[in-house]
Amino acid sequence: MKAFIAMGLVIMVSLALGQDVDYSGTSAANFLKLGVGARQVALGDAASAVVADASALFWNPAAITRIEGHGGVTLVTMDWLVDSRLSYGAVTLNMPMVGSFGFDIQYLDYGKIEETTVYDQDGTGRFFGASDLAAGLTFARRLTDRFAFGVKVKYVREQLANASASAFGFDMGAIFRTTFFNNNMWLAATLTNFGSKMKFSGPDLSVIYTIPGNPANKQVPAVLETLEWELPLAFRFGIANYFVKTEQLSWLVSYDVYDSRDFRVRHNLGMEVGYLNAIFLRAGYKFNYDEVSFTAGVGLNLQKYLHFPLMFDYSFVNYGPFGGLHQLTVNLNY
């Protein structure tokens, strides 16, 4: 409980003191901001106190303690902007008397990009690739029957042709189940992407300069120097409550405050209605975002029909002039 209070105080202080400084465009690895898990995305990213599957490794490391059974598996695919594709996979394992462990990997593939130069602005006919990768290991443990804390260490890498940058980061999360509303209210706090800086290097940064006016056309090899960039450090504070939770009907409302170092404070609101714990309708809204606004989605729980917990989720995100984005997720507990 003390850790949860401390994280909450850090977040509130950052919200109060950090708004007069503009760090826009000063972070690398911005793919780490892309939400994974169709249920959480359909809820408008109001997920830190809601998530209860293996994608919790992305949203809140402490929440993997909510997964029932021995653990869970989550697989995600989504077409992102400009013909890129986001993929995510996660697996968790619960070990009684020890804690919960997890591994996840997030990969954003930008596809093939045609090379252009000053003299060949329509393309040279050569292509190169670009991608982003994050892989992490997580440990979480229940400290009481209501409170859990988790820590994740991850490796982050960005690749552009033959130049790349990498860093190590940490995520920390806490989740607390209150006694309000028949024990159906959850509180959560997270600190994500705290770590080392990223700096690009590689063969593509090696160049050769010709000294002008030199009769011998002397050529000097050189290496372009790049700046270091921070990971997108972010705080989240979330609250979620089931106002109705019966065998026939459930009604969940969730809300997150999201404060990243390189943009203003954002607010995420989501709602989910479930029928017979089998069919779920979801909607959300994202405040203070440049383009994205409302979200929606559906979920189908096949446990009653297949006799094991298999869940399919779909989400739609309205991305303004960029059109709609669709995400599919499969969750399996074992």
- Pairwise CA distance, residues 142 & 129, whole Å: 43
**pLDDT, position 89:** 96
Burial tier of 87 (Cβ tally within 10 Å: 0-12, 13-18, 19+)? middle
pLDDT tens per residue, range 62-91 = 999 999 889 999 999 998 888 889 999 999
Residues above pLDDT 70, as percent of the chain: 91
Q: Give the residue-averaged pLDDT of 295-302.
A: 94
Cα–Cα–Cα angle for 33, 37, 40, rounded to 5 degrees? 80
**Average pLDDT across the chain, whole number:** 87
pLDDT tens per residue, range 123-148 = 787 888 889 999 999 999 999 889 99
290 pLDDT exceeds 90? no
pLDDT tens per residue, range 143-181 = 988 999 999 999 999 998 888 899 999 999 999 998 887
Q: What are phi and psi of 225, to 5 degrees?
A: -95, 130
Q: Give the residue-averaged pLDDT of 217-229.
A: 82
Take residue 144 and report the two structure tokens written for it.
């009481």
**pLDDT, position 64:** 95
pTM over 0.85: yes
Helix (H, G, I), strand (E, B) or coil at 161: coil
**pLDDT, position 20:** 55
β-pair partners for 297: 282, 315
pLDDT tens per residue, range 309-324 = 899 999 999 887 888 8
**pLDDT, position 328:** 95
Most confident stretch, 15-29, 106-120, 258-272: 258-272
12 pLDDT exceeds 50? no
- Pairwise CA distance, residues 124 & 210, whole Å: 23
